[in-house]
Every structure is written in structure tokens, then in C-alpha cells.
Structure 1
Amino acid sequence: MAGEITDTGELYSPYVGLVYMFNLIVGTGALTMPKAFASAGWLVSLGLLVFLGFMSFVTTTFVMEAMAAANAQLHWKRMENRQEEDDDDSSSASDSDALMQDSYERAEKRPILSVQRRGSQNLFEITDRVEMGQMASVFFNKVGVNLFYFCIITYLYGDLAIYAAAVPFSLMQVTCAGGNDSCGVEADVKYNDTDQCWGPLRRVDAYRIYLAVFTLLLGPFTFFDVQKTKYLQILTSLMRWIAFAIMIVLALVRIGHGQGEGHPPLASLSGVRNLFGVCVYSFMCQHSLPSLVTPVSCKRHLTRLVLMNYVLILAFYSLLSFTAIFCFRGDSLLDMYTLNFARCDVVSVAAVRYFLGLFPVFTISTNFPIIAVTLRNNWKTLFHREGGTYPWVVDRVVFPTITLLPPVLVAFCTHDLESLVGITGAYAGTGIQYVIPAFLVHLCRKDSQLAFGPEAVNKHRSPFRHTFWVGFVLFWAFSCFLFVTANIVLSESKV
């Protein structure tokens, strides 16, 4: 839950941490990227993908620096508490007023001297898992903390809406495609929601039935505490990489045999809005960095490893998207890329077709309860008052209900995954990936200088330590917000 400091858990090597981060970033967004690539043109898409990957790397280093600064605050408070306990033991007979005055003077004078004596680098070791909500409470004022929670809650709502739409949409596409045609989606057919699925049932009816079943099966987990097990994570990761490998190999084989149908344009500005949102969403990891980075056993070359991770992810996204847009026509690419392989002319083996078509169902279904519980806990933290407790009805009914209903209602109204991912990434994603890290690193630097003096050096400070980079990230975030909003307004006015 955001806002809590918890144990680091079992430590793992830097390379295991790299794999965990890779698995976290490469998720649902990767499945919507091929269509966004085809809509915006391959040259514009590649350029924007590289640039947004770089910007995400910059803000990732910002968050790691803020984590180290928050750890320094915690370490310093522990040192202060231990020193005060020692002083209390040695001067128990002293007058209370004199003791308070001495404690005040010690708190005012000791920081720089103590940092110089003990070494500032030890203070900035990342040993405690400090979530983003806790960092916000340390470095932001009350307004900033509330804005942080508003941003993270909005993002999690978008995440849940995407998941709630993706599972029923995949089931509808697999079971309704082609009516009685068991071979799946036909290459030259564009289906409408009003087309028939089974007998009198329309495709949209089937979608909503699947959505209702999905909600009834997974929704109750929102009312309880649920934890992702290690084995479940291993299983979903294994399924993910088998699916991605199959799709890339099949696309390459079709292109190699001269069966590629795609002729993507160099650039098409009309598709840039959704591409931007998809790319931001596809590089999202900043909110989970404390859980990923803190258990790493050796953090000496942490920034270098993160950079390597981003290079690998860029290469993977490029390979997946380029094989997709040259294998399939842009107008035939579906929002969920796996569904393009539910065709007999693409995959002749029925088991593979159904595995790829239903792949989002298995992987997304395991993540939905985890995200729902995280959102519910963030609501609780936002309204929590020190020392207060919630009535049973509020705690067990109201918070889970306001967590579950909005994303299900959004999914009931639309299954346009590309737009859902684009809007979530372009607005809430921009706040989490750019705005919050920029303000965190700026304020933590000021706070560290005041608390520990200018000689204290954060060993995990970002290589982008000049103030220019903070300003540039904020300027870019503001520009993106204006661009996406203007693009939406223009699109609506044309309609």
C-alpha cells in the first residue's frame, strides 16, 4: 500500500532485479503498441518511442535519488533517537528544562558534524522500502500529498478499466469471430458490435456477459486482502514470454515467406496522440520502483543496470512492433495484438491460436485483484486520520465498492483499448512518470542540503543532476498535456 514503510523481504541479485523490472514494464501496453505504431507511422513511432524511453529513464533515476534521500531521513532519525536515549541515560539527574534546551541545541547543531563524522554515503543507502506515498508525505506539503494520491488513484482506475475491458474483449473476439467460423478473425472482415455472435445475441451482448462474469469472479477479491504469490508470478511471466516469442517468430516467418501484408506510412500525425499515451503507459514503472529496487542486494551499479534494462526494452518493443506492422495491414491490426493470430491463415494449429487469443485473459486476470486492492488501500490512506479507524461498513463495503464500480462501468460503455490506454497514459501516466518524480527529486535535494549540509553526497543521485533536467521534464509534461488535450478537442470538433 502506498504510504507504508515495509520490510524489504528476501534480497536478490541485481540481475534478478533487472528481470523483475523488465517483466513489470513489458505488460498490457506492449500488446496495444503495434496498432498505435501502424496508426502513427513507423518513423514517427520509432522516434517517439526512443525519446519517451529516454525520458522514462531520466525520471526513474529521479525516483531512485529520492528513495535514497528518504532513507537518509529515516537513518538520521534513528541515529537521533539512539543518541537521545544515550543522553537520557547519562543525564537522568539533570534538570528537565536544561535537558530540553540541550536536546534542541543538539538537533540544531549535530547534522552536519555527524554527517561529516560518519560519512554521508552510509546515510543514503537504500535499505528501507519507502513507497512513493511515503516519499510524498516526507517531501511534499499537504496539497502536494493530496495531488499525488489523486494522480495515483486516477492511474489505477485507468489500469483497472483497461483490464476489465481487455479480458471480455479477448473472449468476445475468440468466441464470436466469424460467427460459425471456428477459424477465428477473418483478415478482410471488420466486425461491428451489432453483428451477431451466437443466435440472437450480438457481439456487444456477448462482451457484456463476459464482463459480468469477469466482475462476479474477480470483483469479490476487492473486498479482501490478496497477495500475488511467487509461483503465480513465475507462471504468468512464463506464459507472457512464450506468447511474445511465438508472435514475433510467426510474424518473421510470414514476412520471410513474402506473406507480409503491411505497408506502414512514414508518419501520420493523426495517430500520435494514442501512440504517445500507449508509449507512456508502456514505460510505466516509477510507482513500483521502491518494491523492485530496495531488495537488490548490491546497488553499486544500479543506474547502469537500469539503463541496460531500458535499452533491452526499447529493442524488444521495436522488434514486436516492426514485425507486427509489416506482417499485418494497419487497418486489420486489432487493439489487442494477440488476437491477430486467431486466424487459420496465420496459425494453422488450433491450440496455438486459442493460447494466443486467450493469453490476455490468463495474465490480466491474475493482476486485476492485486491492482484493485492497491487502489482500495490508496483510498483508505487518502482519507485516513491519525489515530482514527473506519467503521466496518466504510472499511469493508464503501471503499471496495468505489474501487470496483467505476472501472467496470467504463468497461461496460467502451472496449476501445487503444483509447483507454492512450488516455490513461497521456494524463495520469504523465503525472506519475514525469511530474511527481521531477518534484520529488527537486524537493529532496533541497531538503537534504538543509538537513545534512552541502557536503553530503547522495550516492544514488541521478546522472541528470542539473536543475535544467527537472525543468525540462516538467516542461515536457506540460507540453504533452496541452498537445493531447488539443488533439482530443480537434478530433471531437471534426466529428
Structure 2
Amino acid sequence: MAGGITESGEPYSPFVGIVYMFNLIVGTGALTMPKAFATAGWAVSIALITFLGFMSYMTTTFVIEAMAAANAQLRWKRREQEEVEHSDSTSDYSDDDDVVNRGRSEPETKPILSVQRSGGQVDQFDIVERVEMGQMASMFFNKVGVNMFYICIIVYLYGDLAIYAAAVPLSLMEVACGNHSCSAGSVKYNDTDPCWGSVTRLDAYRVFLSLFTVMMGPFTFFNAQKTKYLQILTSLMRWIAFTMMIILALIRINKDHGAGRPPVANLAGVPNLFGVCVYSFMCQHSLPSLITPISDKKRVGTFVFADYVLILGFYALLSFTAIYCFDSSFLHDMYTLNFTDNCDVLDIPVLRYFLGLFPVFTISTNFPIIAVTLRNNWKTLFYRDGGTYPWVVDRVVFPLITLVPPIIVAFCTHNLESLVGITGSYAGTGIQYIIPASLVYFSRRHLEPTVGREAVNKHRSPFRHSFWVWFVWIWAAGCLMFVTANIILTDTKK
């Protein structure tokens, strides 16, 4: 998952929305996908990523339908409040019986929504208010469901921060300690290999991690905001880097220098590939910020489908060129690193350093935003109406419990493939499958008594039958059991 959402309140066209969704989804997960493809085999990988892309598209349509339902619910409540206020304001001048009768009859004779916009009446299901997933959970779930939602989001964000905290120092370590002489070719290094004299590569990694913590950590104690221009810059760098890697791999394969001989299928690599793919299609938690500003939402479903097809093709192109260009034993967890120490692939030092440092610039800009988001979710989880936090708790405790755990994890391991796989397999399954299916299911149940069965949600999912909701729930439960069983079996064998 990558950062890439514009500030709310600035409308944009559906085409721009496609670009933002592409930038939102394609990020760190894409860089870990080639190694996961090589481990699981090309046939299994293409089948699984296609199916998971379809599942992610389905749950994306669930979230959009729930957003429209939430907007309708908010309008109905606002209308009801206006009726109560109107009734109170006229009670001094009317008989009690008249007030009661009028209060009963008006909701039946007046439309639910009477707000005018752009010269016409707004449809009750228009998505004009940004309703975040946490707010939707509060509207449609009970207390237990709301708490489970926030726990799932918090676990996922912890995984995100651990991945970011490991990816940046790892890239810096590879650039600083790797081979840049163009004399040794592709070399597979170990953590115990020397970097600077007696300093090992692992020591260098931890030095860079400490520097990263000192530089990025303080943002957790304050509010950080992305800027539009920073987003444009990181998006441009992302496109340049991915395009370079695909073209360079194709050139090497075309010259018959490709060293990759990936297997057709290796079931042992499927669990980790599953987590990587789920993580690489993650966007559901950011859809409210992405979809709401789109100016014309008439064909938003078509545009979302086109975006998923484009992303699926991009992932397949990136991964297939990688697994046939490089031997699987030399593929790095972070794919960009395959171009920094292999001058047979890229012998221009400036471009090698650019690809090696690409994750540093793009991920570093996202780390403070994710950290602040996690900190705020912690506050929301423990918030009680009318209560306030002491200054020490608000300004010190919450930032520390946000920052310390992922940094500790990053100090213990920099295995990005495993971090992405675990994050995607567990918390990612909840956010991408269980929560969207639950939101659409309970939003339908809440909305029916409010607007009636005859009201049609114009943003309803193409997968409107309840069968699809149950299918997603069963699939998610099966995935969690499969991944857990595989981890237990793996640990037993060890």
C-alpha cells in the first residue's frame, strides 16, 4: 500500500481519481511481489493474484455502497433533527394534538432530503460527505464490532509502520554497503558480511534505523499533513522507478541474459504470496478520502473496475519480468535493490543510486502520516464521551505506544517479505475482506427501515446478493485458518 490521497475538499475528475487510486494501491507491496512470485511459481502466482484482485474489487464496491448508505443515513438523521427542532419551535403556538399529528405525518409526505445543490435535488444516496470507515463502523456496528474494527486497523497500521521502518534503513544499508564497482556482478550478501571495516551489514542497518527513528519519530508527537506537491513528486518518482525496472528487465531478457528459471508451482510459497498480494491490493481503508472528492460519480464503478484491471496488469508485468530476469536465489525482498549492486543490468551509477534510494524518499514521506493516523486511532479506541486525556497521556504516552513497537520489530528483523506477508495475511484480511463485507451487510439492514425497500442505492455493489457477503466471510475465515496452520507446521518442522 502506498500513500497518495489528495486533501479532502478539492474535487477532481474521475480520471484523476483513477490515477490517485493507482498511486494509493501500488507501493511497497509491489516491490516485495517479485520474490513472492519466484517462490510460489509463476502459474500459481498469476492465478492467485488474479483471484485476489477480483476479491479486492468486490470488497471495494462493498465499501462504496456502504459510503452511500452512510450518507443517506446521515441525511435522514439530519432531517429528523430538523423536524424535532421545527416541532419544538411551533409548540408554543399549536395544540398538542396538532403537533403530534404533524410530527407523525410530515416524514411520510415530505421527501427525506430537500437539500438543493447545483440547481437540482440531491439524491439521498449521493456521496457528498466524507464518512470514514471508523464512522461507518460506529453507525452500523455494535460496541463490540466498533472495538474490533479499531483493533484491526491498529494492528494493520503497526504492520505498515514496521514495514516502512525496515524498508528505509535496508535500502540505505544496501546502497552504502553494496557492490558499486561493476566488477563483481550480482552477489548475495549476508548480514554478518563487513560493511565498513569491522562494522557488519547488520550493524549498518541498525545505525540507519536509529537515524531514521531520530529523524522521523518526532513527527509522531505532532500533527503532520501531506501536501499536494509532495504527493505529485513522490508519484512521479514512483512511475519513473517502476518503468525503469520493467524496461531494464525486458532489455536483459531480450538479450538472452535472463537468469530466472521460476517453477510452475510451489505450494510452500503460497501463504506468503497470499499476504503479499492482499497487502498489495489494499485501499479499502482509504476509499472515503479517495472517492468522495470525485466530481462526477455516475460511472465510478466502471472506473474502479478499469483501475483494478490496470493494476493487475502492472503487477503481472513487473513480477514476470523480474522472475525471468533474475535468478530466484538473488531476488531481494525489496526489488529495487537488484539494480543497485548488479552492473550487468544497470551500469549507470546515478540511476543505480536513484533506484536504490527510491524507497527511502517515497516511504519516508508516508511514515509520519501513518504514525499520526495510528496515534489518533489509539485515542479514538479509548475515548469516552465528555472525557479528556491528561497532557502526558495525550502528548507522550500515545505517541510512544505508536512509535516504539514497530521500531523494535524493525530492529529484530528486516525480512520485508515476511513482514508484508504477516501484515497482509492477518490484519489485511480483516480490513480488505471482513470489515467491508460486514459494513455492507449491516448498512443494508440499518437502511431498510429508514428509507424503505423500494429505495435503490445507486452506488450499490454489482455483487448485491447476500451470497457474496457470506462468500467473502467464509473465504476470509478459511484464509486465516490456512495461514495460521502453515505457520504452525513451519515452526514444527524447524
TM-score (norm 2): 0.94
Say which of 325, 328, 338 aligns to 2:326.
Answer: 328
Alpha-carbon distance, 1:113 to partner: 6.5
Determine whether 1:350 maps to 2:373. no
Q: Tell me if structure 2 keeps the 8 A contact 1:177–1:184.
A: no
Q: Which runs of 5+ in 1 are unaligned?
A: 1-6
Q: Tell me if structure 2 keeps the 8 A contact 1:115–1:456.
A: no
Matches of 1:394 and 1:204 in 2, distance apart?
A: 35
Alpha-carbon distance, 1:215 to partner: 0.2
Determine whether 1:110 maps to 2:107. yes
Secondary structure, counterpart of 1:457 in structure 2: coil
Q: Tell me if structure 2 keeps the 8 A contact 1:33–1:278.
A: yes
Alignment partner, residue 472 of structure 1? 471
With 113-122 and 201-210 compared, the bigger mean Cα shift is at 113-122
Secondary structure, counterpart of 1:197 in structure 2: strand
Alignment partner, residue 291 of structure 1? 289
Matches of 1:73 and 1:142 in 2, distance apart?
A: 19
Alignment partner, residue 147 of structure 2? 146
Determine whether 1:365 maps to 2:379. no
Alpha-carbon distance, 1:105 to partner: 3.9
Matches of 1:278 and 1:141 in 2, distance apart?
A: 31
Q: Which runs of 5+ in 2 are unaligned?
A: 1-6
Q: Tell me if structure 1 keeps the 8 A contact 2:114–2:122.
A: no
Alpha-carbon distance, 1:90 to partner: 3.7
Alpha-carbon distance, 1:314 to partner: 0.4
Q: Tell me if structure 1 keeps the 8 A contact 2:249–2:321.
A: yes
Give the aligned residue type for 2:246. I
Alignment partner, residue 303 of structure 2? 305
Matches of 2:128 and 2:183 in 1, distance apart?
A: 51
Alpha-carbon distance, 1:456 to partner: 1.1
Matches of 1:104 and 1:197 in 2, distance apart?
A: 78
Alignment partner, residue 29 of structure 1? 29
Give the aligned residue type for 1:17. G
Q: Tell me if structure 2 keeps the 8 A contact 1:64–1:460.
A: yes
Matches of 1:46 and 1:469 in 2, distance apart?
A: 23
Deviation digits for residues 428-472 of structure 1 (CA, Å, limit 9, x no counterpart): 000000000011000001111111111111110000000100000
Matches of 1:21 and 1:177 in 2, distance apart?
A: 34
Give the aligned residue type for 1:86. H
Give the aligned residue type for 1:138. M
Matches of 1:112 and 1:282 in 2, distance apart?
A: 49
Deviation digits for residues 217-266 of structure 1 (CA, Å, limit 9, x no counterpart): 00000000010000000000000000001100000000111111001111
Alignment partner, residue 483 of structure 2? 484
- Seen in structure 2, the aligned counterparts of structure 1 residues 99 and 153 have a Cα distance that, compared at 3 Å, is farther
- CA root-mean-square deviation: 2.0
Q: Tell me if structure 2 keeps the 8 A contact 1:286–1:433.
A: yes
- Seen in structure 2, the aligned counterparts of structure 1 residues 186 and 486 have a Cα distance that, compared at 3 Å, is farther
Alignment partner, residue 419 of structure 2? 420
Matches of 1:204 and 1:92 in 2, distance apart?
A: 78
Q: In the TM superposition, what are the counterparts of 1:206-285 in structure 2 within 5 Å?
A: 206-285=204-283
Q: Tell me if structure 2 keeps the 8 A contact 1:160–1:407.
A: yes
Matches of 1:148 and 1:112 in 2, distance apart?
A: 38
With 71-80 and 150-159 compared, the bigger mean Cα shift is at 71-80
Q: How many residues align?
A: 483
Matches of 2:212 and 2:492 in 1, distance apart?
A: 35
Deviation digits for residues 119-152 of structure 1 (CA, Å, limit 9, x no counterpart): 9981111000000000000000000000000000
Q: Tell me if structure 1 keeps the 8 A contact 2:113–2:122.
A: no
Alignment partner, residue 159 of structure 1? 160
Alignment partner, residue 3 of structure 1? none
Q: Tell me if structure 2 keeps the 8 A contact 1:61–1:462.
A: yes
Alpha-carbon distance, 1:79 to partner: 1.9
Alignment partner, residue 43 of structure 1? 43
TM-score (norm 1): 0.94
Q: Tell me if structure 2 keeps the 8 A contact 1:120–1:456.
A: no
